[in-house]
Structure formats: C-alpha cells, structure tokens
C-alpha cells in the first residue's frame, strides 16, 4: 500500500482560477485515491466550482483523520481549506504577503509548514509564491537561495533550466547549488539517469562570459556532477544537455523570449499558410487538414500545460509553481510533479548532497 | 551627384568566405557604381573568387585616385587589399589580434582608421571585430562602451536589440548610451520615425529587476528618448517597442536562444508534417506545395541574411558585423547597412546627442 498524504492547492491562483484549478485538482483526486487534495481558497467560490464535478464514490465521513472544524470535507479525498484573501497577479509580492494576511498562497504554504500537507501547488503570483516559500518554509540546511526549475520541451527530451526568476542577483555558490538541486530533480522526477549539466554562457570556451560565469565554471569543475562546461542558449533546444544553470534574471528572460517567439512563430506560420491558401486557386479550401493537425501538435508540444509546474527548489517543503495561464490539465500535471517530488524524497537527497559537497562554501 | 567613398570588406571572414563574401561584394559594387569596394584578404584566394564573376563595364585604369602599389585594382570600383592572416572563428579575439598581425580584420579596420574607407564589413570572429573596433578605431567622444545592435525580424516590424555581446559587464550609463545610439540607428537606418525604447527586464513594473536594471530605469526616465519603461522578452516579437536595451550577456543569450528555437520549431513542424503525410493515406504525396512554400517563407523571414549585419555602435568609424554563416545576400545587405550608416552620418548624430545629454555622467 502506498503512503497517503495531502497536497495543498491554491484554488484562487492563476488566470483561470478557481474553475480550472478545481477541475485539475478533482481529476487528480479521482485518479489518486491515496492522495488528499486540500483546496485552499474562498469557500463559496471553490464550492461552486466543485458542484457539478463528479467527485467519485468516496463517503465524506471516511475522510482524513485530522478533520478540522474550519475545513469542509467534500468527498473521500477533497477538502476545502478557507482562505480569505487572494494575491493578484499584479500585486507586489512581499507587500501583498504582508498586507493580505490569510491569502490562499499563504494558507497553502502554512499547511506545508505545519506538515498538514507535504506539498503545495499554485498558479498564482510567482513572486508571492517565492516569498512565501522562502519566508514561511525556510531554506533547506546550507542552501543559500531557492531557485525555480522549469523543464523546456521544444527539444527531443526535456531540458531543465534553473533559475528562471527566484533570484536575480546570483553568486557563484548559488549557481552551483542550483546545479546540484536541478540534477536531483531531473533524475528523480524526469527520470533522466545521469543528467548532463551545463552552465548557460555566451560561448562554449572555458574562459568565456562575465565574472559570474567564469567563477562558477571553475567551481562546477570541482563538483561530482556530470558537468559539460559552458553551453549556449541554443542547447536548450538541441538536447546536448539536460540541466542548464543560470542566474534568475537571465533565466527569466530566456523563458519569456522562448514563450513569445514560439507563439509568434506558430501564428506567423498559420498566417503564411492562410495567405498561400488564398493565392492558390486550385485548393482554395484553406489549410489542409493534415497541416492543421500538425500545427495543433506543435502547439501542444510547446504547451507548458503538458508538463506540469516548476518546483521552487531549495525550500524546506515541496512547492510547485504552475504557469499563470494554467488550465485543468496543467494543474493536474503540476499535482503529478508535486506528488513525485514527495514520493522520491527529492528534498532529502538535496540536503544530503549539498551537505556532502560543502565545497568550502562556508559563507 | 552622390558622394563616392570606399567600404572595406573582410573577404576572409565567415563560414563561407571568401566565396560568398566576394559574391556579395561584387553585387554591391555592380549596383552602386559610386561605391568603391576594398576586398581585404589573401590576394590569390580573393582573385580566384573574382574570376568568373561579372565585374561590370568599368576600366581598371579609371579606378580611384589613391591607387596604392600594394593594391590590385580589379574593376572600376573593386580593389584587393592584401592581408596575410586570417583570424579563425574559434580564435581568442584579443590574443589573435596581437599574434596574427596583419589579419584581414585588422587591415580592414585600419583602412577605416586611416580614412581610406568610411566603413568596414566582416562576417568573421565577432570578438575580434569588437576588439579591433575598440582598440584601433577608438570610441566616439564620451562614449563609454561600444555595443552591437541587432535587428530582430520575427515581429511585424524590426526591433533593434542592443547590446548582444560586445560588453558583458554593463553599467547603467552604458545602457543609457546604448539606448541613445540604437535610437539614432533605428531612425536613420531602419527609418523608424520616433523609436520607442524599452529596457529589457523580468517584468514591466518600474521596480522590477536586478540592481542594474533598477538604476538604469530611473536614468532612462531623465532622457529625452521615447522611453516606454521596462519590457519583457516577449516584446521583441510583439512590436510594442522598436529598441530593446540590455546588457551584452543577456542580449547574446537572447540572440542565441531565438536563433536556436526558431530553427528547432521550423524543423519540428516539418517533421510533424511529414509524419502526418505518411499517416494520411489519401494524400501520401508528402507535404503540399502550398505548405512547403509557406515553410520556405517562414525560414526566409527568420533569415538573418535578409537584413544585413549588425553595427558596432559607439566606435569612431562604421563597422558592420555580419553573421558567421553569411551568404552573398547577407554580405550584400551588410554593405547596404554600412553605406546607409555613412550616408546618414549616424556617428555624427551619436556624438552630438551623447554630448548634449551629459546626464551628469562625468565618470
């Protein structure tokens, strides 16, 4: 029998919350009867979304042993945990956390802190998630900074890029720890046997880059990681390495540029096709079906929702940050990633490896 | 009558040199009879490429007035200027400049320095070009750092990104000067009337970013530029602004990520289409012609060779760095950009605006 545990879901976070979040969570609850889903948010709004969903065959009375007064038990493995406030996508993260006490992000994070949930998932304000994770959960022993690890999927196999925005003034030791943490994540969650780690740089030669990458490069050489050396941006799509390490400012720009360009190219291609179809008098019936399905395939391949959320690695607990535009499938997949992070005990391994490394990083 | 002047072309630089470089240069010479093209490189190799090219109707004896002994005059407006050495793409820039005295990049740059050419074009080692430009031409008065300005063309109109790799440890005053220089470039060469300038950042809010972008943001507000504020990476493809300013490390990563992703997506789409075609028994004749031409269109739209090279802005002379993979068309277009930079006197305007601004940047 597998271990039963709870995952807290920020039901109010994201552009399509609470509807899509609740749908994704309900699906996860249905397919994982051993999982307890805690939907954190404004109870009436969450309840409204739950109505109409098929909640499976469970009997509420049999639900988890620690049924707390303020919770609403909805089915065998779905509960609502009230949270008064919602941090908006545009809110200033730290300020919002301070002013909007009892927000869904805060309550969900506190459930992890108290051990009532072993993981939390949010598609809400990324900065607020990072702040909540860092402030409320704290960092794992000897971890200096948390980093967001996103898996890119435009290549033949997924490539994990860390950090995409948690820490925009990285020091070399932060980047080394990112490499170690993302390596374990790639191994445990993405099942890549011996992840090849690269340092994102403006050239492959050892001496390339700015002062940050030059120092970091030398430190990486001293680790036991399967370190390939410097890699250029193009490697994120070529598959020569599995983990790409960079400062959060650079990583965030890479993420946004990639999203923007991919969308733009697919649109551009569609327009070009339509124009070609109009000019072509023989086949003026528009875009052939085969091409339409290829376009759809491509959009799906690039779709973040296929691959679940991005873990905030380094915090003392499992926090998965999902894309702001998450639909039900994205939430479902983020919960899958959260579950696997817990089951594979990724944080325990991170702690062990970071402590074992030491690397003279006493500061 | 238009002013006649010379442009020096590094005939040995780039993956397809000297063949494609010479072809592009010959075409430029043919279409611009008032332009004198100085092909800098190993004379026998360059001569071999020139043979077989239609050099137009000019008589060598009528060529430019300062015919120097060591030069070989080939046609009315094409000369060969000997350069013994070639700096390879993989050479360490500064070291190569020092060791390979008399390289084609050095000789071409010196022609500009001496005023024998008003511009130079190279598809060779970018780092060596930047070093040659900075060391041999020097910087324009009060310019602190040179920056490479690349025009991106995936959006509806070109967007100039500066810097894409000349300077990987930018200070706020460098970024401000980049904004001013790229603004003038966009106006003069790309004919954008009042370029909208954005600062590349990880969010649009004023207070976002790292310490570099925060300080720079405030300084930009004090300039007379049409400054939009912070822009995210996606704006490079959306067309909400015309000039995007960033540190050279970040800009270089953006350039490489975009190139890599664009290539990957077009490939991916082609593969998806072929697979769809194989599965589809009705139309097993492969990819429809209309779709093939749309793919080709898309590849062309993304093709750097359509748009000429990237100016190294801030040096005391016109230097255009073309893509290492430049074909004849790319070289031709780079020469077009060089010519326009000279004709529009972009460097004079840069000097005036930088000096007028002052901005209290006395350091």
pLDDT band at A71 (very low <50, low <70, confident <90, very high): low
- Using DSSP bridges, classify how beta strands B147-152 and B310-313 pair: parallel, antiparallel or unpaired: antiparallel
Q: What is the pLDDT of residue B316?
A: 98
Cα Rg for chain B, rounded, in angstroms? 22
> What is the rounded CA–CA span in Å between residue A87 and residue A131?
12
Over 60: is that where the pLDDT of B362 sits? Answer: no
Q: Which of A128-153 are b and which e, b meaning 16 or more Cβ less than 10 Å from the residue's Cβ?
A: bbbbbbbebbeebeebbbbbbbbbbb
Over 50: is that where the pLDDT of A68 sits? Answer: no
Q: What is the pLDDT of residue B307?
A: 66
Q: What is the pLDDT of residue A189?
A: 94
User: Tokens at residue B23, please?
Assistant: 């072809």
Structural domains of chain B, with CATH: 5-143+314-351 (3.40.718.10), 148-308 (3.40.718.10)
User: Collapsing DSSP states into helix, strand and coil, what is residue A254?
Assistant: helix
pLDDT in tens, B148-199: 999 988 777 889 999 999 999 999 999 999 999 999 999 999 999 999 999 9
Does any CB of chain A come closer than 8 Å to the CB of residue B273?
Answer: yes
**Residue B117, burial from CB neighbour count under 10 angstroms (0-12, 13-18, 19+):** buried
**Which stretches does DSSP call E strand in B129-275?**
147-152, 159-162, 196-200, 226-231, 243-245
C-alpha dihedral (B27, B153, B127, B83), degrees to nearest 10:
0
Reported as half-sphere exposure (CB side, CA atoms, 13 A), residue A320 has a value of 30
CA angle A212, B231, B233 (to 5 degrees): 60
Q: What is the pLDDT of residue B115?
A: 97
Averaged confidence pLDDT in chain A = 88
User: Tokens at residue A270, please?
Assistant: 């569609």
pLDDT band at A296 (very low <50, low <70, confident <90, very high): confident
Portion 36-95 of B in contact with A at CB < 8 A: 90, 92
Question: How many CB atoms sit inside 10 A of residue A29's CB?
Answer: 27
Going by C-alpha positions, the residue among A34, A152, A13, A86 that lies closest to residue A24 is A13
Q: Are B40 and B87 in contact (CB under 8 A)?
A: no
What is the average per-residue pLDDT within B104-121?
A: 98
Does any CB of chain A come closer than 8 Å to the CB of residue B240?
Answer: no
The minimum CA-CA distance between B321 and chain A, rounded to whole Å, is 17
Selecting from A210, A262, A297 the residue whose C-beta is nearest the C-beta of B265 gives A262
pLDDT in tens, A170-190: 999 999 999 999 999 999 999
> What is the rounded CA–CA span in Å between residue B330 and residue B323?
8
pLDDT in tens, A226-236: 999 999 998 88
- Using DSSP bridges, classify how beta strands B35-41 and B5-10 pair: parallel, antiparallel or unpaired: parallel
pLDDT band at B69 (very low <50, low <70, confident <90, very high): very low
What ipTM did this prediction achieve?
A: 0.88
DSSP class of B233: G
What is the average per-residue pLDDT within A296-315?
A: 78
What strands lie across the sheet with A35-41, from one edge to the other?
A72-75, A78-82, A35-41, A5-10, A119-122, A318-321, A310-313, A147-152, A159-162, A243-245, A196-200, A226-231
Q: Are B154 and A191 in contact (CB under 8 A)?
A: no
Q: Are B312 and B133 in contact (CB under 8 A)?
A: yes
B233 to A254: CB separation less than 8 angstroms, yes or no: yes
B253 to A294: CB separation less than 8 angstroms, yes or no: no
Question: How many CB atoms sit inside 10 A of residue A93's CB?
Answer: 17
The minimum CA-CA distance between B256 and chain A, rounded to whole Å, is 5
B288 to A291: CB separation less than 8 angstroms, yes or no: yes
Residue carrying structure tokens 């611009």: B32
What strands lie across the sheet with B5-10, from one edge to the other?
B72-75, B78-82, B35-41, B5-10, B119-122, B318-321, B310-313, B147-152, B159-162, B243-245, B196-200, B226-231
pLDDT band at A67 (very low <50, low <70, confident <90, very high): very low
């Amino acid at each position: 029998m597998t271990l039963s545990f709870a995952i807290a879901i920020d039901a109010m976070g994201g552009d399509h919350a609470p509807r899509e979040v609740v749908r994704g969570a309900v699906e996860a609850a249905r397919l994982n009867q051993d999982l307890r889903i805690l939907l954190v948010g404004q109870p009436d709004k969450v309840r409204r979304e739950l109505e109409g969903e098929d909640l499976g065959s469970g009997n509420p009375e049999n639900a988890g042993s620690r049924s707390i007064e303020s919770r609403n038990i909805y089915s065998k493995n779905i509960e609502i945990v009230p949270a008064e406030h919602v941090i908006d996508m545009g809110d200033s993260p730290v300020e919002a956390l301070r002013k909007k006490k009892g927000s869904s992000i805060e309550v969900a994070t506190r459930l992890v802190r108290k051990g009532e949930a072993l993981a939390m998932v949010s598609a809400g304000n990324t900065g607020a998630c990072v702040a909540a994770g860092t402030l409320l959960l704290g960092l794992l022993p000897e971890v200096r900074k948390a980093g967001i690890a996103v898996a890119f999927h435009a290549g033949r196999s997924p490539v994990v890029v860390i950090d995409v925005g948690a820490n925009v003034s990285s020091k070399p030791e932060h980047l080394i720890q990112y490499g170690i943490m993302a390596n374990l994540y790639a191994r445990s969650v993405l099942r890549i046997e011996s992840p090849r780690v690269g340092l994102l740089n403006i050239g492959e030669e050892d001496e390339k880059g700015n002062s940050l990458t030059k120092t970091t490069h030398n430190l990486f050489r001293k680790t036991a990681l399967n370190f390939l050396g410097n890699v250029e941006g193009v490697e994120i799509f070529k598959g020569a390495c599995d983990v790409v390490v960079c400062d959060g400012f650079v990583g965030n720009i890479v993420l946004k540029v990639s999203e923007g360009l991919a969308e733009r190219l697919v649109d551009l291609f569609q327009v070009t096709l339509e124009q070609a179809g109009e000019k072509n008098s023989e086949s003026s019936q528009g875009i052939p079906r085969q091409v339409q399905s290829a376009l759809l395939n491509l959009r799906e391949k690039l779709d973040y929702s296929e691959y679940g959320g991005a873990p905030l690695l380094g915090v003392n607990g499992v926090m998965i940050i999902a894309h702001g535009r998450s639909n039900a499938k994205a939430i479902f997949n983020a919960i899958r990633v959260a579950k696997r992070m817990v089951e594979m005990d990724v944080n325990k391994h991170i702690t062990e490896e970071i402590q074992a490394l030491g690397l003279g990083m006493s500061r």
